[in-house]
Structure formats: C-alpha cells, structure tokens
Amino acid sequence: MSEDRDIPEYDPLDVLVNRLLGGGAGMPVPTVELTAEMVEFYKTPVRVVVELAERVSWGPEDVFFDLGSGLGQVVMLVNTLTGVVGKGVEIEPAYCAYARACAAAHGLSDVEFIEGDARDVDLASGTVFFLFTPFKGEVFLRVMDRLRLLALTREIRVIGYGPCSAEIARLGWLRQEEGAASGEYRPQIFNSSAEDRGASSK
C-alpha cells in the first residue's frame, strides 16, 4: 500500500487493543451535534500510536494531551507504553464517560478525560499535543493559537495525523522534525521554536 493513503488503515492489532481496552459495551451513541468545522470521530490506528510513542523523546515532566480524544484509546495507550501522564479532551459526553470507565477498569490513575471544547479547556499543563484532525477552519486556528501562546513560555511538541498535518506545517511557530516518513497518514511531529520564545522575552 502507498504511504500517502486517503484513509487510515486498521489491522488485527486494532482488533486486539479494542478488546483489551474496550469497555465491554458497544459504541456509545453521540449526543452533541457537531458544527461544520468539527470532524466526526475516527479511531487512530494502534500502529500510529506505537510509532509516535517510540519517536517522541519523553521525559518525566511531560504531559500528553489528545485533542479530540474520542473513546480514549490513544491516551490510554500512550500512558501504558511510556508512563507519562495522559489527558484527553473530548466534547462528546458519551465518549468521555466511556473513556473514563475504561481507564478506571484498567487502573490507569495517570489518565484523565476532560469533557469540553478544546478552545476553552485548560491546556496549560501540556507538553505534547496530538491531533487526528478533530476540527478545521477557524476552530483549528483558534486552538492552535492557544498552543502558540503556551509555546511562548516553554517548548511544546505538536503531533499531527491526517489532513491537519499539512495545516500545522504552515504555521510559522512550529518546526517539523526531520527523518519521519512522509504521508498524510503517518504521525508528523512538530517542535515549537526556541527563537520565538527568545524573541517574545525581549
């Protein structure tokens, strides 16, 4: 298969993790009507989460945020694979409740799911932010501007997956890491600029 895929691909590993981390119930029924700039939920393939967990240089101070965390698997997997604190932000109450129940059932005490809009919730503790294209347009720009302001205070990393990666790459305050495989459906890691932080302090 080409690396430049139009849609994410799933494999038996996804089936296994669904069974291990699932809540034992069916897919929760969403209750929130999404606006035109919000994207419906799709699961991030497990192989993508494993790849980003391996590629990021994690430290004990890191806090991982998944913006648009859906059923919470990305947050739970990153926490399980790396040991870092994980937080999911999800606007759909049914998904958030499902994710909390799954995390509690597996005793994941360093995992938290925050019900709310990524434009409004507290992101201040985050150092690594993951987006599987959860929104676009003005919503995307507003959330990224919040992260830009946070990046003026310390280094952060932003991981894009899906069409949002190209939009992230256009932002002048982030620098894409070299050496990653290209393709819309490969995780793309971006670092905030130390030069921008230095300029803001003058």
Render pLDDT for 20-70 as a digit per residue (tens, 0 to 9). Answer: 887 666 789 999 999 999 999 999 999 999 999 999 999 999 999 999 999
For residues 8-18, give the mean pLDDT.
Answer: 87
Residue count of the chain: 202
Report residue 57: phi and psi, to 5°.
-85, 95
The DSSP bridge partners found for residue 192 are: 174
H or E element, residue 80: helix 73-82
CA dihedral 126, 102, 96, 11 (to 10 degrees): 80
pTM of the shown model:
0.91
For residues 87-97, give the mean pLDDT.
Answer: 97
Render pLDDT for 104-128 as a digit per residue (tens, 0 to 9). Answer: 999 999 999 999 999 999 999 999 9
Report residue 191: phi and psi, to 5°.
-115, 145
**What distances in angstroms separate CA 164 from CA 67, 130, 142, 159, 182, one per listed residue?**
12, 11, 14, 10, 14
Q: Which tokens belong to 56?
A: 């990021």
Render pLDDT for 149-202 as a digit per residue (tens, 0 to 9). Answer: 999 999 999 999 999 999 999 999 999 998 666 778 899 999 997 666 555 444
State residue 202's pLDDT score.
45
